[in-house]
A and B are shown apart, each in its own frame.
Chain A
C-alpha cells in the first residue's frame, strides 16, 4: 500500500495534522553540516566525570506489573499497580498494551502505548502514568487513516525532562499477497501457503505529557526497513537506530550486493528531520539492546551482552569497549541487563554466567566491582531481572541459590554470600523504590516481598502472568 504522508496521522486531542517530512539527500547533507557546527557547542562537550545524574525513584512509588491475563485471548498485555506495604492484589491500570512500558528518567512517570483499529483507521494512544498515584495523568491519540492491514510496533523513549515522550512507530504493510505451494513434512502432502511481502517504514512523533499534545507525526520514509529499531533520548536529541531490510537490497547468491549498514539518525527533540545521520556499528538494532543516557549526554548501548558502544551526541561516532567479566563462553543464551544508577555507574548482570558487575562510564567503563554468583537455573526465561544491586551498591541480590531455588544476597566488597532463602523457586527479583525486594514466582502467590536481609515480609497474588516489573 502506498503511504500518503499528506493524509498521514492526526493528533486527535490537539486536532493538528502532522507535516510530511521526506528526507532528500540535500536536506540530509544540510543537516549533517549543521551537526558539524554543533561540535563546538559547549553543552555537547563531554564533562570530565561523564557520570549520569538520574534521580532515584521516590520511595512512595508504586510498583507496576506488566503481563498477560490470557495468552489465548486476542488482546494485548495489561499493566497493574500495587504498593508493597498495602495489602490486596495490584489494581488494573491499563489493558491492550502494545509495547513494554517505559519509566521516565526521574522515576515519576511511566509511559504506555496502546494500539487500536476502527475499520481502516489505526490508532496509537500514548498514556503517561504518575508512579506515585498510579493514575493516568496524560493521554493523546494519533490516528492513521487508510491502514487497514498494517502491523504497528511502538517504541517509546522519555526525554531527560521526563515530560516529552518520543514515539517511534514501525508501520508494516503487506504487499504481494499470493498463495504458493509448500510441502508439509508431517504428511508428505503439498499445501498452499499464503506468502506476503511485508514492508516496514517508521513514523516519529513526540508526545508532550504536560499539554497532552503531539508534535508530528513525521514520516521517515525509510522503507524498506526492518521494523525493529533502537530508540533513546537525552535532553536535546532523539537517537534512532534503523536498518534497511537486507533481503530487499542485497542481490543474488551468485552476485550478492553489499550488506546495508545500520544507521544512526539523531533528531533534535520535536523535529522530524535528522540533524545527523551516520553509519552505526554493524550490530543490527533488532535485539531490544539496553541503552543508557550517560551524564554527558552520550549514549551507551549494550550489544551482544558483552560490548558497550558509546555514541557521542554531537558527531554520532561511537567507540566500543568489551566488558571483560561478561566476555565469556557460555552454552546457554541469556539477556545481559544494564541499569544506570543514580550515582552514574552502570550495573550489568548476565544470569547464565552468574556474573554481576559495576562499571564506571567516566573511566572508560572500568570495572568497579564484580560478583560471581550461582548461575540462575533458567537464566534466559522471563521476567528478565535475575540480579539487582541495592541502592547503596553494597549488596547484589540474585535469583537462585547453590541448592537450586530461592534468592541469594552477595556482599559486593567481598563477593561472599551474605544470605539466602530457598523456600521457593523464583523467576526474577526486583529492587523496589521503597528498598524492599520483589520476587516473582510462576505459581501462586506470585509476588513475594523481602527486606534487605532476605527476610520475607509478605506475599500477594495477581491474575497476570508477569512479564516485567517497573
Chain B
C-alpha cells in the first residue's frame, strides 16, 4: 500500500504525482501546528484538498504535524499545547468536511514530525503523546487518536531512546524517512527495508516502523511529493477516509 505526502496543497500536485507514479492509496498532509501550508488553513482549502484527494483515486488522509522544531526540546506544557492544537485541527476538519470519516477501526494515527537535527525531550513527548492518546473526540468518549512519530530511528538525535523508554507515554508506530530507494516508485515499490528502532536502537526496540518514506524529489523527479510505503499493516486503514466527494 503506497501513497504520497506533501507540504504543498494536494490540488497543486495531484495531477503530476498521479501521472508520474500512479493512483495512491493514501495521502499524508500537515495539520496545525504546522510550519508550512496547513490542510486546515481554512475550510475552503480543506474542502479543495479533500476533493483533490478524492479525485486522485485514493480517498484516505493521514495527519502529520510539524510544530516549530525548537519546541520538541521543550516542556510538558509545550507538548500538551501542541497536541491539543492538533486534536482541535483534526476534529474541526472532520466536523466541517461532511464526507470525511474517522477510520472504521477507530484508529487515526497521528505523526509528530521530528526533522533531522531536531532533539526530543521526554517531557515534551509525554506531554504530546499523553494528550493525543487521551484526546476525547468532541467529548464523545471516543479516543481515536494514536500518537506516532515521523523520524529516522538511525538518526543520532534522541528518538527511539525517548519514545521507547519505560517511563515514556506510548508511541504506536514510527514512520521512517530512511533509507532512500530512489530507483523505485509507487508503481513499483521497493521491498520493505525501512529503518527501525530495533535495528538502530536495540536498547529501545519496542516501537515498530509501519510507514516508510522511501523516495523524494531530491531523487531527481519533479512532482512535489514524497513517496511512502506501508509495512506490516494496511496503512490506509489508519487514516481518515472520504465516503464521497466533498
Query: A interface vs B, CB < 8 Å?
Result: 66-68, 71-74, 76-77, 98-100, 115, 151-153, 170, 172, 176, 180, 182-183, 185-186, 193-198, 200, 226-228, 245-247, 250-253, 256, 259, 282-284, 286-288, 304-306, 329-336, 352, 377-384, 427, 442-443, 465, 467-468
A228 touching B33, Cβ below 8 Å: yes
Q: Does B118 contact A (CB under 8 A)?
A: yes
B116 within 8 A of A: yes
Is the pair A246, B35 in contact by a Cβ cutoff of 8 Å?
no
A332 touches B7 (CB 8 A): yes
Contact partner of B81 (CB less than 8 A), chosen from A153, A283, A383, A384, is A153
The answer, among A100, A182, A256, A382, for a CB contact under 8 Å with B117, is: A382
B138 touches A247 (CB 8 A): yes
- Neighbour of A335 across the interface among B68, B130, B156, B225, CB < 8 A: B68
Closest to B177 in A: A332
- State whether A153 touches B224 (Cβ < 8 A): no
Which residues of chain B are within 8 angstroms of A442 by Cβ–Cβ distance?
117, 156-157
Tell me if B118 and A304 are in contact (CB < 8 A).
Answer: no
Shortest distance from the beta carbon of B196 to any chain A beta carbon, whole Å: 14
Bound together, the chains give a CA A387 to CA B58 distance in angstroms of: 38
Q: Judge whether B200 is part of the interface by a CB distance below 8 angstroms.
A: no
Q: Are A288 and B81 in contact (CB under 8 A)?
A: no
Q: Complex formed: what's the CA distance from A256 to B36 in Å?
A: 27
Of A71, A152, A172, A226, the residue contacting B122 (CB under 8 A) is: A71
Given contacts A71-B122, A71-B158, contact A304 B92 (CB under 8 A): no
- 8 Å CB contact of A252 from B81, B138, B226: B138
Contact call A247/B92, Cβ cutoff below 8 A: yes
| Chain A nearest Cβ from B61, distance in angstroms | 16
> Please, which residues of chain B bring their CB within 8 A of the CB of A380?
35, 66, 69, 113, 115, 118
CB distance from A185 to the nearest CB of B (A): 6
For window 57-108 of B, CB contacts with A under 8 Å fall at 66-78, 80-82, 84-85, 87-89, 91-92, 94-96, 98, 106-107
Max chain B C-beta neighbours (<10 A), residue from A71, A200, A226: A71
Residue B95 contacts which of A99, A253, A332 (CB distance < 8 angstroms)? A253
- Can you sample 5 A-B contacts with CB below 8 Å? A193-B133, A195-B135, A336-B35, A380-B69, A468-B70
C-alpha gap A247/B95 in the complex (Å): 9
Q: Which residues of B contact A172 (CB under 8 A)?
A: 77, 80-81, 84
Report Cα–Cα, A298/B161, bound state, in Å.
Answer: 45
A333 to B92, CA, bound (A): 22
Q: Most A CB atoms within 10 A — which of B30, B37, B113?
A: B37
Q: Which residues of A contact B38 (CB under 8 A)?
A: 304
Residue pair A382, B70 in contact (C-beta under 8 Å): yes
Main DSSP-derived SS at the B contact region: mixed
Q: Chain A at the B interface: mostly helix, strand, loop or mixed? A: loop
User: By the criterion CB–CB under 8 Å, are A286 and B85 in contact?
Assistant: yes
Contacts of B12 in A (CB 8 A): 329
Interface check B119, CB cutoff 8 A: yes
Q: With the chains together, A330 CA to B6 CA distance in Å?
A: 7
Is the pair A100, B225 in contact by a Cβ cutoff of 8 Å?
A: no
Q: How far does the alpha carbon of A76 sit from the alpha carbon of B37 in the complex, in Å?
A: 30
CB of A287 within 8 A of CB of B88, answer no
What is B's interface to A at a CB cutoff of 8 Å? 5-9, 12-13, 30, 32-38, 41-43, 66-78, 80-82, 84-85, 87-89, 91-92, 94-96, 98, 106-107, 113, 115-123, 127, 130-131, 133-136, 138-139, 141, 143, 146, 156-158, 161-162, 165, 172, 208, 216-217, 224-226, 238
CB distance from B221 to the nearest CB of A (A): 10
Which single residue of chain A is at the shortest CB-CB distance from B140? A252
Q: In the complex, which residues of chain B have a beta carbon less than 8 angstroms from the beta carbon of A182?
A: 133, 143
Complex: how many Å from CA A330 to CA B66?
Answer: 15
Q: Residue B36 contacts which of A252, A304, A377, A443 (CB distance < 8 angstroms)?
A: A304
When chains A and B are docked, how far (Å) is the Cα of A336 from the Cα of B82? 19
Residues from chain A with a CB closer than 8 A to the CB of B106 are: 183
Q: Which of A76, A153, A180, A468 contacts B141 (CB 8 A)?
A: A180
Q: Is the CB of A381 within 8 A of B115?
A: yes
- Bound Cα distance from A448 to B53, whole angstroms: 46
* Set of chain B residues within 8 Å of A256, measured between Cβ atoms: 95-96
Whether B37 lies near A304 (C-beta < 8 A) is yes
